[in-house]
Amino acid sequence: METETPEAPAPDPDVALIEIRRCATCTECTELNNQLSAYNDNQQAYTLDFDGGSFNDMVEAAETCQVSIIHPGKPRNPMEANQSELIKRAPPFI
């Protein structure tokens, strides 16, 4: 009898996420803001500190990511400038 492996739950589209396992180590995101993302021991990007950068930084990182693994989620700071424009740019990366 075959045993099915349970699927991982889908990520919350409202929360910023970097798909670590798919990282191509291009340095785009870490060069954009090294307080927001960093590399682990396997040279794969991960979110270092969600509050280390702005929603603008997350959207820009998503737009420049060569393998489309950065998902900006929703803004964390309700006072960040240009939110309406950034929210319009974010959906392709959710």
- By DSSP bridging, strand 17-18 and strand 45-47 are unpaired
Strands 37-39 and 45-47: antiparallel
Estimate to the nearest angstrom the gap between the alpha carbon of 22 and the chain centroid: 12
Per-position pLDDT tens, the chain of length 94: 555 656 667 778 888 889 999 999 999 999 999 999 999 999 999 989 988 999 999 999 999 999 999 999 999 998 999 999 999 999 998 8
CB contact set of 48 (below 8 Å; sequence gap of 6+): 34, 35, 36, 37, 38
Backbone angles phi, psi at 45, to 5 degrees: -70, 145
> Model pTM?
0.83
Topology of domain 17-93, CATH: Alpha-Beta Plaits (3.30.70)
